[in-house]
Structure 1
Amino acid sequence: MSAGLAPCTVLAELHEKARAVLDPVHYDYYAGGVGDEVVLGENEAAFRRLALLPRVLRGRATRDLGVDLPGGRLDLPVLIAPTAFHRLAHPVGEPATARAAAAARTVLVSGMASTVAIGDVVAAARSVDADASVWFQLYLQPDEDVTECLVRRAERAGCTALVVTADSPVFGRHRRDARHGFHDLPAGLAAENMRDLPGAPPGGLRDIEMSPAVSWAHLDRLRELTSLPLWLKGVLHPRDAVLAVERGVAGIVVSNHGGRQSDLAPAAIEALPAVVDAVAGRVPVVLDGGVRSGGDVAVALALGAAAVGVGRPVLWGLAADGEAGVAKVLDVLRDEFDHALALCGGRDPADLTRDMVVSRGAGVIARCG
């Protein structure tokens, strides 16, 4: 930990440190959501409406926090969710995030809209741990040649899985960005994965395209292009989860894009149980959205998630103190989750079960009967 960041025990403190150092325009880009930001708030508020019934006298002296997922093993059930433009938060950007993830022996899902090319991100992770797993997040492009080129770059870089974000047929409308007039990156920064793609001039960039024409057929084509495990992110409806499993995905990510796409969507944790039931154990399910503590991790796992993704807190750590700040976020989540697991009488994540989750104020005695 650098001298510039005093020890802190809650992620909210890192958030406040980040707010103090970030350009207000860039802070609002990271922190903001779509529309009236109802879903943005509900992602966190929904966790506060849930509680865990602990089990007692179960004889657990130590705990194993690790989980195995298609694409890599995590030493704690927390992966770094894909987020864009890390160099807005810190000059080093994504390589700092990658090194912290590798040191914690967890997975970074590197965003397609990264300000550092995927090859350099993976190299940064592997400089810490030669076996580090980095996944590549992908928006399916209407031009399938562009999609294929991005997939090949991820493969050459050594990525161990692809995460297809499927909840963005169009861009979300962000009032904070519109108020600031924030529509382009500052000079010297770019979405580096979009260089030298089909249709771009030599050394030039293509825009990331969102298109409502992108369909299951594009996912089928992607499945034919690569042998990497495919995760489908942005699933909220159980029927879509079933369709994805039928098409050979390796895992599902329940997510409403951090409240950045539709303000009509449910909180991610509220959508989780139905998706878990629909998948019925055929593939693992990850919950991404609203996780702000190790206790939240425990609740999500009790509802059937194999792991959780964390996005904004990682950006706050990165802005507050670079690689050391990201490491602090992961350390806090690890410590808090381990503590929650111990209090619930658990030895490993599988000991957290749905019958332990209750709604606050809904009558615990009746639920236990």
Structure 2
Amino acid sequence: MSGAGLARLSTIYRQGALGRRPVVPADFAELERRARRVSSARAWAYVAGGAGEGRTMRRNREAFDRWAIVPRMASGAADRDLSVDLPGGRHAAPVLLAPVGAGALMGAGSDVRIARAAAATGTAYIFSNQGCTPMEECAAAMGDASRWFQLYWSKDERLVEGLIARAEAAGAGALVVTLDTTVLGWRPRDLNLGSLPFSRGQGIAQYTSDPRFREIVAGRAGRPAPKPEVTLGAVRTLLAMTRNHPGRFWGNLRSPLPRASVETFLDIYSNPGLSWEHLATLRDRTRLPVVLKGILHPDDARRAFDLGADAVVVSNHGGRQVDNAIASLDALVTVREAVGPAPTLLLDSGIRSGADVFTALALGANAVLLGRPYMYGLALAGQRGVEDVIRNVVAELDLTMALTGTPNIAAITRSLLVAA
């Protein structure tokens, strides 16, 4: 992606000369403001909200503010190489799209639109296990473009096996196991609305498209169930379940399967007892590179690599799980010091700009995961909005590299940062 920055500037300024302004703002603050205006209260609570008092979310951003970039001059770096080697292959830039569940809250057909945007920009997309479209459909929309798959470890081991097998068949380049959501965190924005998208059948398409999950649901649907309380809200929830379930609306409305699917998902989607013993079985379960997501403590990082993990994602889940947790960027520094220079570390949580990407790389990340920004782009302009966000972030990274004298990713080192 050499020259991505100047190319992006040229595109935007040429359009400006014709009187056209970007639909997707170039700065995160305005992007967030506009996305909030077009989002429903439920959607905004789920995507923008965090755990507890929001201290972890704030800390993620404050951590970046504690570092300042020190540009170097006259490097002669007219061209830049943004590509990086990660488990599963080479990537055009050190930016991947993080898995975000229930994306349809921010726009219909969310997962397929994101998949197409990722393919159009040469960016790897990590399919969410809590997606609104089956992984096979997203893979078909991407062609040969790079994708990984996120796995939530279910209580049902056969379901775990089935999801891994489907990811392999769908051409996933790596398996990303989320460790930090064995139970849902305390999320006041959602709680104050009494809103959980999964209870309405949103974000469970990987499950309702899975043979093992359908087998579990069929057994459950045949059992007597307590009669639900009839309220206007209950009717709306039933209609939402019906619309989000595979098949025809009227057939679903008469069937117990939509409700049974939701109840089954809520019961088994994640295993509170997930342990290192479970993770040790992965090498016998998949041929894919294994990436463990949600690592914050150096000892956990060491153990992950001792078990044979190919990479870890240093992440606090975007501040959505534990309030008052360590910032992911701060954890990155200590994890990198603990594991040394060789292991592959990715950073998730708090990335908002190309300058943030540069800072994360300088502090030891091999690549980063982008989350909320591209979801806001989706809310504003669908597939094109996601593309614009990706191109803006990569362009700013490229320009920052040009202005700091770094011709490639390996040249972005801690020597280019000082404590602010």
TM-score of the alignment, normalized to the shorter chain, above 0.5: yes
Say if 1:4 and 1:321, in contact at 8 Å, map to a contact too.
no
Instruction: Report the CA distance between 1:91 and its aligned residue.
Output: 0.9
Correspondence for 2:96:
79
> Is 1:244 paired with 2:304?
yes
Correspondence for 1:89:
106
Instruction: Report the CA distance between 1:260 and its aligned residue.
Output: 0.7
Deviates more, 1:335-344 or 1:274-283: 274-283
Instruction: Report the CA distance between 1:304 and its aligned residue.
Output: 0.8
Q: % of aligned pairs identical?
A: 41
AA aligned to 1:112 is N
Equivalent of 1:70, from 73, 76, 87?
87
AA aligned to 2:30 is E
> Is 1:171 paired with 2:184?
yes
Say if 2:28 and 2:352, in contact at 8 Å, map to a contact too.
yes
AA aligned to 2:318 is G
Residues 6, 211 of structure 1: CA spacing in aligned structure 2 closer, same or farther, 3 A cutoff? closer
Residues 277, 157 of structure 1: CA spacing in aligned structure 2 closer, same or farther, 3 A cutoff? same
Say if 2:69 and 2:418, in contact at 8 Å, map to a contact too.
yes
Instruction: Report the CA distance between 1:187 and its aligned residue.
Output: 5.6
Correspondence for 1:119:
136
Correspondence for 1:265:
325
Residues 256, 23 of structure 1: CA spacing in aligned structure 2 closer, same or farther, 3 A cutoff? same
Secondary structure of the 2:335 match is helix
Whole-angstrom CA distance in 2 between matches of 1:94 and 1:316: 14
1:277-296 equivalence runs, <5 A: 277-296=337-356
> Is 1:181 paired with 2:194?
yes
Say if 2:24 and 2:385, in contact at 8 Å, map to a contact too.
no
Say if 1:72 and 1:107, in contact at 8 Å, map to a contact too.
no
Correspondence for 2:334:
274
Consecutive unaligned residues in structure 1, runs of 5 or more = 361-369
Say if 2:23 and 2:381, in contact at 8 Å, map to a contact too.
no
Correspondence for 1:311:
371
> Is 1:216 paired with 2:276?
yes
Say if 1:255 and 1:288, in contact at 8 Å, map to a contact too.
yes
Correspondence for 1:154:
167
Whole-angstrom CA distance in 2 between matches of 1:296 and 1:118: 30
Residues 154-203 of structure 1, C-alpha deviations (whole Å, 9 max, x = no match): 11212111100111232101111111110245867441011242522287
CA RMSD of aligned residues (A): 2.0
> Is 1:134 paired with 2:151?
no
User: Between Structure 1 and Structure 2, how many residues are aligned?
Assistant: 356
Residues 242-264 of structure 1, C-alpha deviations (whole Å, 9 max, x = no match): 11111111111000000011113
Correspondence for 2:125:
108
Whole-angstrom CA distance in 2 between matches of 1:188 and 1:278: 42
Correspondence for 2:207:
194
Say if 1:5 and 1:320, in contact at 8 Å, map to a contact too.
no
Whole-angstrom CA distance in 1 between matches of 2:218 and 2:29: 44
Instruction: Report the CA distance between 1:302 and its aligned residue.
Output: 0.3
Whole-angstrom CA distance in 2 between matches of 1:155 and 1:113: 17
Residues 38-83 of structure 1, C-alpha deviations (whole Å, 9 max, x = no match): 0011111211121112222221111111112112322111110111
Whole-angstrom CA distance in 1 between matches of 2:206 and 2:36: 28
Say if 1:11 and 1:329, in contact at 8 Å, map to a contact too.
no
Residues 272-297 of structure 1, C-alpha deviations (whole Å, 9 max, x = no match): 01111222234210010101110000
Deviates more, 1:289-298 or 1:7-16: 7-16
Larger radius of gyration: 2
Deviates more, 1:197-206 or 1:304-313: 197-206
Structure having the higher helix fraction is 2
Whole-angstrom CA distance in 2 between matches of 1:179 and 1:84: 20
Instruction: Report the CA distance between 1:4 and its aligned residue.
Output: 10
Secondary structure of the 1:200 match is helix
Instruction: Report the CA distance between 1:101 and its aligned residue.
Output: 0.8
